[in-house]
Amino acid sequence: MTDGRAPGAAVLPQNPLTSPSGGLQSVEMDPVEYTLRKRLPRKLPKRRNDVYVNMKTDFRAQLARCQKLLEGGGHREICVHGLGLAINRAINIALQLQASSQGALQLAANTSTVELVDDLEPDDPDEAPGEPMTRTRNNSAIHIKVYYPSP
């Protein structure tokens, strides 16, 4: 609880202005700096015809993979999953598959919420009084079934 422990340089110049009683209070209020680490989303079931879309892989490669499953792989239906930012890409892939099949493929979309866990680790474990924490947040997801309707 000494003044020297406040690592945030931005807080110290404000002390004479904001807290007339002294620097001690503002040291207590100084938020501990954390590093936020995002854990990977929970493991999902993976069948042969499940495609999990991400934003790192090339779009055309993911589209080609879906086309290969439907045409060469002999699957009557595949499931395209997208989480968060990849929702747009999953929808794009599904609509392009449908467009390139001249209407033979049908789409059935479902939405869900995925719970994600973040780890908060204090930057300086020796000095800072903070403890490692976890925080959960929700993110939206979409699951699109792309299939040939049974006659």
Partner 1 sequence: MEPQPASFLSNFKRVGRREDPDPHPIPGLPADILHMRVKEGSKIRNLLRFATARMQGPGQGGGGGGGGGGGALRQVVFTGSGRSLTKTITCVEILKRQVGGLHQVSKLCNNTVSEAWESLRKGVPGVTICRTVPALTILLSMDPLDPQEPGYQPPQRDPHGPPSQHMAPGAKRVRLEEGNRELPSTSSV
- Whole-angstrom CA distances from 28 to 4, 34, 73 are 12, 16, 62
The secondary structure of residue 14, as a DSSP letter, is G
User: For residues 12 and 114, which CB has a smaller minimum distance to partner 1 in the complex?
Assistant: 114
The letter for the amino acid at 38 is: K
The letter for the amino acid at 61 is: A
Which residue of 85, 123, 124, 133 would you call a contact of partner 1, by CB under 8 A? 85
**SS3 (DSSP) at 102:** coil
The secondary structure of residue 26, as a DSSP letter, is H
- Whole-angstrom CA distances from 105 to 76, 96, 143, 145, 146 are 9, 10, 16, 10, 6
Q: Enumerate residues 92-131 that contact partner 1 by CB under 8 A.
A: 92, 94-95, 99, 106-113
Please report whether residue 44 would count as binding partner 1 according to CB under 8 A: no
Nearest approach, Cβ of residue 108 and partner 1 (Å): 4
Nearest approach, Cβ of residue 49 and partner 1 (Å): 14
Nearest approach, Cβ of residue 145 and partner 1 (Å): 8
The letter for the amino acid at 67 is: Q
- Total of residues contacting partner 1 (CB under 8 A): 23
Nearest approach, Cβ of residue 68 and partner 1 (Å): 22
The contact set with partner 1 (CB under 8 A) reads 84-85, 87-88, 91-92, 94-95, 99, 106-113, 138, 140-142, 144-145
